[in-house]
Protein backbone atom coordinates (compact mmCIF):
# COMPACT_ATOMS: atom_id res chain seq x y z
CA UNK A 1 0.00 0.00 0.00
CA UNK A 2 1.33 3.43 -0.97
CA UNK A 3 0.66 6.34 1.41
CA UNK A 4 1.01 10.10 0.99
CA UNK A 5 1.45 12.19 4.17
CA UNK A 6 1.32 15.96 3.92
CA UNK A 7 2.84 18.58 6.18
CA UNK A 8 1.39 20.70 8.97
CA UNK A 9 0.98 23.52 6.47
CA UNK A 10 -1.16 23.94 3.36
CA UNK A 11 -0.52 21.05 0.98
CA UNK A 12 -1.56 20.56 -2.64
CA UNK A 13 -1.20 17.04 -4.00
CA UNK A 14 -2.48 15.05 -6.96
CA UNK A 15 -1.61 11.38 -6.83
CA UNK A 16 -2.38 7.70 -7.15
CA UNK A 17 -1.54 6.69 -3.57
CA UNK A 18 -3.88 4.29 -1.81
CA UNK A 19 -4.12 6.55 1.26
CA UNK A 20 -3.59 10.32 1.50
CA UNK A 21 -3.26 12.30 4.75
CA UNK A 22 -3.48 16.08 4.56
CA UNK A 23 -2.69 16.77 8.25
CA UNK A 24 -3.06 20.40 9.42
CA UNK A 25 -3.49 23.38 7.15
CA UNK A 26 -5.72 24.08 4.20
CA UNK A 27 -5.03 21.07 2.00
CA UNK A 28 -5.96 20.13 -1.56
CA UNK A 29 -5.91 16.39 -2.19
CA UNK A 30 -6.91 15.11 -5.62
CA UNK A 31 -7.19 11.38 -6.20
CA UNK A 32 -6.36 9.37 -9.25
CA UNK A 33 -8.06 9.02 -12.59
CA UNK A 34 -7.09 5.36 -12.86
CA UNK A 35 -10.16 3.77 -11.28
CA UNK A 36 -8.20 2.70 -8.17
CA UNK A 37 -9.92 2.78 -4.77
CA UNK A 38 -8.45 5.39 -2.44
CA UNK A 39 -8.86 6.73 1.09
CA UNK A 40 -8.34 10.46 1.72
CA UNK A 41 -8.02 12.13 5.16
CA UNK A 42 -8.25 15.90 5.26
CA UNK A 43 -7.13 16.70 8.78
CA UNK A 44 -7.51 20.19 10.29
CA UNK A 45 -8.03 23.28 8.15
CA UNK A 46 -10.09 24.31 5.13
CA UNK A 47 -9.62 21.30 2.88
CA UNK A 48 -10.60 20.41 -0.67
CA UNK A 49 -10.74 16.66 -1.24
CA UNK A 50 -11.55 14.90 -4.51
CA UNK A 51 -11.69 11.14 -5.03
CA UNK A 52 -10.67 11.34 -8.68
CA UNK A 53 -11.60 8.59 -11.13
CA UNK A 54 -13.97 5.66 -11.19
CA UNK A 55 -12.70 3.68 -8.22
CA UNK A 56 -14.77 3.40 -5.07
CA UNK A 57 -13.35 5.84 -2.55
CA UNK A 58 -13.50 6.61 1.16
CA UNK A 59 -13.04 10.26 2.09
CA UNK A 60 -12.78 11.33 5.73
CA UNK A 61 -12.55 14.90 6.99
CA UNK A 62 -10.97 14.42 10.41
CA UNK A 63 -10.78 18.05 11.50
CA UNK A 64 -12.08 19.00 14.93
CA UNK A 65 -14.13 21.90 13.60
CA UNK A 66 -12.02 24.47 15.44
CA UNK A 67 -10.83 25.80 12.10
CA UNK A 68 -12.71 26.06 8.87
CA UNK A 69 -14.65 23.53 6.86
CA UNK A 70 -14.17 21.29 3.88
CA UNK A 71 -15.08 21.06 0.21
CA UNK A 72 -15.25 17.38 -0.74
CA UNK A 73 -15.93 15.76 -4.14
CA UNK A 74 -16.61 12.04 -4.47
CA UNK A 75 -15.67 11.36 -8.07
CA UNK A 76 -17.09 8.71 -10.38
CA UNK A 77 -17.13 5.63 -8.16
CA UNK A 78 -19.32 4.48 -5.28
CA UNK A 79 -17.92 6.71 -2.56
CA UNK A 80 -18.25 6.89 1.22
CA UNK A 81 -17.60 10.41 2.46
CA UNK A 82 -17.54 11.30 6.17
CA UNK A 83 -17.45 14.90 7.31
CA UNK A 84 -16.22 16.21 10.63
CA UNK A 85 -17.25 18.82 13.16
CA UNK A 86 -16.90 21.82 10.85
CA UNK A 87 -19.37 22.84 8.11
CA UNK A 88 -18.74 20.88 4.91
CA UNK A 89 -19.89 20.90 1.32
CA UNK A 90 -19.92 17.29 0.10
CA UNK A 91 -20.70 16.39 -3.51
CA UNK A 92 -21.08 12.72 -4.38
CA UNK A 93 -20.93 12.97 -8.19
CA UNK A 94 -21.89 9.80 -10.11
CA UNK A 95 -22.01 6.41 -8.47
CA UNK A 96 -24.13 5.30 -5.53
CA UNK A 97 -22.64 7.30 -2.68
CA UNK A 98 -22.82 7.49 1.11
CA UNK A 99 -22.47 11.04 2.42
CA UNK A 100 -22.31 11.84 6.13
CA UNK A 101 -22.01 15.44 7.24
CA UNK A 102 -21.24 15.04 10.93
CA UNK A 103 -21.59 18.13 13.11
CA UNK A 104 -21.87 21.61 11.63
CA UNK A 105 -24.19 23.11 9.04
CA UNK A 106 -23.48 20.90 6.03
CA UNK A 107 -24.50 20.85 2.36
CA UNK A 108 -24.74 17.32 0.91
CA UNK A 109 -25.46 16.67 -2.77
CA UNK A 110 -26.10 13.38 -4.61
CA UNK A 111 -26.00 14.59 -8.25
CA UNK A 112 -26.67 11.59 -10.48
CA UNK A 113 -26.18 8.14 -8.97
CA UNK A 114 -28.31 8.48 -5.86
CA UNK A 115 -27.41 6.96 -2.52
CA UNK A 116 -27.67 7.90 1.15
CA UNK A 117 -27.08 11.30 2.75
CA UNK A 118 -26.97 11.84 6.54
CA UNK A 119 -26.84 15.41 7.75
CA UNK A 120 -25.91 14.79 11.38
CA UNK A 121 -26.26 17.61 13.89
CA UNK A 122 -26.57 21.15 12.59
CA UNK A 123 -28.85 22.85 10.08
CA UNK A 124 -28.15 20.86 6.93
CA UNK A 125 -29.19 20.96 3.28
CA UNK A 126 -29.53 17.55 1.62
CA UNK A 127 -30.10 17.38 -2.14
CA UNK A 128 -30.97 14.13 -3.89
CA UNK A 129 -30.81 12.99 -7.49
CA UNK A 130 -33.23 11.84 -10.18
CA UNK A 131 -33.12 8.27 -8.83
CA UNK A 132 -33.79 6.68 -5.43
CA UNK A 133 -32.29 8.57 -2.50
CA UNK A 134 -32.33 8.19 1.28
CA UNK A 135 -32.03 11.55 3.04
CA UNK A 136 -31.67 11.70 6.85
CA UNK A 137 -31.56 15.14 8.44
CA UNK A 138 -31.04 14.17 12.11
CA UNK A 139 -30.88 17.07 14.60
CA UNK A 140 -31.26 20.67 13.48
CA UNK A 141 -33.52 22.57 11.12
CA UNK A 142 -32.84 20.75 7.87
CA UNK A 143 -33.93 21.20 4.25
CA UNK A 144 -34.22 18.06 2.09
CA UNK A 145 -34.86 17.90 -1.66
CA UNK A 146 -35.57 14.50 -3.22
CA UNK A 147 -36.09 15.61 -6.83
CA UNK A 148 -36.85 12.66 -9.13
CA UNK A 149 -37.09 9.02 -8.17
CA UNK A 150 -38.82 7.30 -5.28
CA UNK A 151 -37.23 8.88 -2.23
CA UNK A 152 -37.20 8.30 1.52
CA UNK A 153 -36.51 11.22 3.85
CA UNK A 154 -36.47 11.58 7.63
CA UNK A 155 -36.13 14.97 9.24
CA UNK A 156 -35.39 14.04 12.85
CA UNK A 157 -35.44 16.68 15.56
CA UNK A 158 -35.93 20.27 14.48
CA UNK A 159 -38.16 22.25 12.14
CA UNK A 160 -37.51 20.60 8.79
CA UNK A 161 -38.58 21.38 5.22
CA UNK A 162 -38.97 18.30 3.02
CA UNK A 163 -39.48 18.34 -0.75
CA UNK A 164 -40.03 15.05 -2.56
CA UNK A 165 -40.05 16.05 -6.22
CA UNK A 166 -41.36 13.57 -8.78
CA UNK A 167 -41.93 9.95 -7.84
CA UNK A 168 -43.40 8.03 -4.92
CA UNK A 169 -41.86 9.55 -1.80
CA UNK A 170 -42.03 8.72 1.90
CA UNK A 171 -41.36 11.78 4.05
CA UNK A 172 -41.13 11.45 7.85
CA UNK A 173 -40.77 14.62 9.86
CA UNK A 174 -39.85 13.53 13.37
CA UNK A 175 -40.08 16.05 16.19
CA UNK A 176 -40.60 19.72 15.41
CA UNK A 177 -42.80 21.84 13.17
CA UNK A 178 -42.17 20.36 9.73
CA UNK A 179 -43.11 21.36 6.19
CA UNK A 180 -43.93 18.68 3.59
CA UNK A 181 -44.12 19.20 -0.17
CA UNK A 182 -43.96 15.88 -1.97
CA UNK A 183 -44.51 17.25 -5.45
CA UNK A 184 -46.04 15.14 -8.20
CA UNK A 185 -46.80 11.46 -7.71
CA UNK A 186 -48.19 9.49 -4.77
CA UNK A 187 -46.50 10.63 -1.57
CA UNK A 188 -46.77 9.40 2.02
CA UNK A 189 -46.31 11.82 4.91
CA UNK A 190 -45.68 11.20 8.60
CA UNK A 191 -45.50 14.31 10.73
CA UNK A 192 -44.09 12.35 13.66
CA UNK A 193 -41.96 9.22 13.64
CA UNK A 194 -43.94 6.86 11.44
CA UNK A 195 -47.02 6.04 13.52
CA UNK A 196 -50.71 6.08 12.70
CA UNK A 197 -53.46 8.68 13.18
CA UNK A 198 -52.95 11.08 16.08
CA UNK A 199 -49.24 10.31 16.51
CA UNK A 200 -47.93 13.42 14.79
CA UNK A 201 -45.40 15.58 16.63
CA UNK A 202 -45.40 19.36 16.25
CA UNK A 203 -47.39 21.73 14.07
CA UNK A 204 -46.85 20.25 10.62
CA UNK A 205 -47.85 21.65 7.23
CA UNK A 206 -48.71 19.32 4.33
CA UNK A 207 -48.68 21.01 0.93
CA UNK A 208 -50.93 20.03 -1.98
CA UNK A 209 -49.91 21.72 -5.24
CA UNK A 210 -51.78 22.05 -8.50
CA UNK A 211 -49.94 19.07 -10.03
CA UNK A 212 -51.04 15.47 -10.61
CA UNK A 213 -50.55 13.59 -7.38
CA UNK A 214 -52.01 12.10 -4.23
CA UNK A 215 -50.71 13.24 -0.85
CA UNK A 216 -51.40 10.75 1.95
CA UNK A 217 -51.03 12.00 5.53
CA UNK A 218 -50.70 8.82 7.57
CA UNK A 219 -50.57 10.31 11.08
CA UNK A 220 -53.05 13.18 10.79
CA UNK A 221 -53.28 14.87 14.19
CA UNK A 222 -56.23 17.24 14.80
CA UNK A 223 -55.28 20.52 16.39
CA UNK A 224 -51.68 20.34 15.18
CA UNK A 225 -51.64 19.72 11.44
CA UNK A 226 -52.52 21.97 8.49
CA UNK A 227 -53.13 21.16 4.83
CA UNK A 228 -51.97 23.96 2.52
CA UNK A 229 -53.86 23.98 -0.78
CA UNK A 230 -51.93 25.80 -3.52
CA UNK A 231 -53.77 26.66 -6.71
CA UNK A 232 -56.82 24.56 -5.85
CA UNK A 233 -59.35 27.13 -7.04
CA UNK A 234 -61.13 26.84 -3.70
CA UNK A 235 -62.40 29.98 -2.03
CA UNK A 236 -63.46 28.68 1.38
CA UNK A 237 -63.69 25.70 3.70
CA UNK A 238 -67.11 25.01 2.22
CA UNK A 239 -65.37 24.20 -1.07
CA UNK A 240 -63.14 21.75 0.77
CA UNK A 241 -66.14 19.91 2.20
CA UNK A 242 -68.02 19.91 -1.10
CA UNK A 243 -65.05 18.20 -2.79
CA UNK A 244 -64.56 15.61 -0.04
CA UNK A 245 -65.65 12.06 0.70
CA UNK A 246 -64.83 9.30 3.18
CA UNK A 247 -62.86 6.24 2.08
CA UNK A 248 -62.57 3.94 5.08
CA UNK A 249 -60.32 5.60 7.64
CA UNK A 250 -59.34 8.36 5.20
CA UNK A 251 -60.98 11.74 4.72
CA UNK A 252 -60.30 12.54 1.07
CA UNK A 253 -60.32 15.98 -0.53
CA UNK A 254 -60.45 15.53 -4.31
CA UNK A 255 -59.25 18.86 -5.73
CA UNK A 256 -59.60 17.68 -9.34
CA UNK A 257 -59.45 14.42 -11.27
CA UNK A 258 -55.67 14.12 -10.80
CA UNK A 259 -55.03 15.77 -7.44
CA UNK A 260 -56.13 14.74 -3.96
CA UNK A 261 -55.11 14.64 -0.31
CA UNK A 262 -55.95 11.72 2.00
CA UNK A 263 -56.03 12.29 5.78
CA UNK A 264 -55.79 9.10 7.81
CA UNK A 265 -58.11 9.15 10.83
CA UNK A 266 -59.98 12.32 9.87
CA UNK A 267 -63.67 12.71 9.05
CA UNK A 268 -65.88 15.55 7.87
CA UNK A 269 -67.00 16.05 11.47
CA UNK A 270 -63.47 16.31 12.89
CA UNK A 271 -61.80 18.63 10.37
CA UNK A 272 -62.30 22.38 10.65
CA UNK A 273 -61.49 25.46 8.63
CA UNK A 274 -58.41 25.92 10.81
CA UNK A 275 -56.97 22.70 9.35
CA UNK A 276 -56.83 24.13 5.81
CA UNK A 277 -54.79 27.02 4.45
CA UNK A 278 -56.19 27.92 1.03
CA UNK A 279 -53.62 29.70 -1.15
CA UNK A 280 -54.86 30.88 -4.54
Give 241-274 pLDDT, tens digit per residue.
999 999 999 999 999 999 999 999 999 999 999 9
If you average pLDDT over residues 108-131, what whole number do you get?
Answer: 93
The C-alpha atoms of residue 188 and residue 276 are separated, in whole angstroms, by 18
Query: Across the chain, which distance is largest between two alpha carbons, in Å?
Result: 72
Question: Which is nearest to 216 in space by CA: 201, 202, 227?
Answer: 227
The confidence score (pLDDT) of residue 198 equals: 82
For residues 74 and 87, the answer to whether their CB atoms sit within 8 Å is no
For residues 209 and 191, the answer to whether their CB atoms sit within 8 Å is no
If you average pLDDT over residues 142-163, what whole number do you get?
Answer: 95
Which of 18-22, 71-75, 275-279 is the least confident region? 18-22
For residues 115 and 92, the answer to whether their CB atoms sit within 8 Å is yes
For residues 192 and 173, the answer to whether their CB atoms sit within 8 Å is yes
Whole-prediction pTM? 0.81
Question: Which is nearest to 75 in space by CA: 61, 60, 89, 95?
Answer: 95
The confidence score (pLDDT) of residue 158 equals: 95
More reliable by pLDDT, 220 or 3: 220
**241 phi and psi, to 5 degrees?**
-65, -35
Inform me whether the pLDDT recorded for 142 exceeds 90. Answer: yes
If you average pLDDT over residues 134-144, what whole number do you get?
Answer: 96
Inform me whether the pLDDT recorded for 63 exceeds 80. Answer: no
Per-residue pLDDT tens digits for 79-117: 778 777 778 888 887 778 889 888 889 999 998 888 999
The confidence score (pLDDT) of residue 69 equals: 54
Q: 137-167 burial by CB neighbour count: b if 16+ within 10 A, else e?
A: bbbbbbbbbbbbbbbbbbbbbbbbbbbbbbb
The C-alpha atoms of residue 63 and residue 234 are separated, in whole angstroms, by 53
Amino acid sequence: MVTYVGTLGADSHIGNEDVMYGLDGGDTLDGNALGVAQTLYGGEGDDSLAAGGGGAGVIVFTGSGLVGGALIYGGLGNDSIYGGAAPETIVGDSGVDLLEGGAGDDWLYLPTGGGNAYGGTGNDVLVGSQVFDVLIGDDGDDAMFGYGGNDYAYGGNGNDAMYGGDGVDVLIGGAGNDYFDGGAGVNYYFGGNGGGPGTGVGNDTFVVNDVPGVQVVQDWTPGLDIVQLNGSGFASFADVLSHSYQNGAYFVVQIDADTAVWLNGATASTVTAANFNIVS
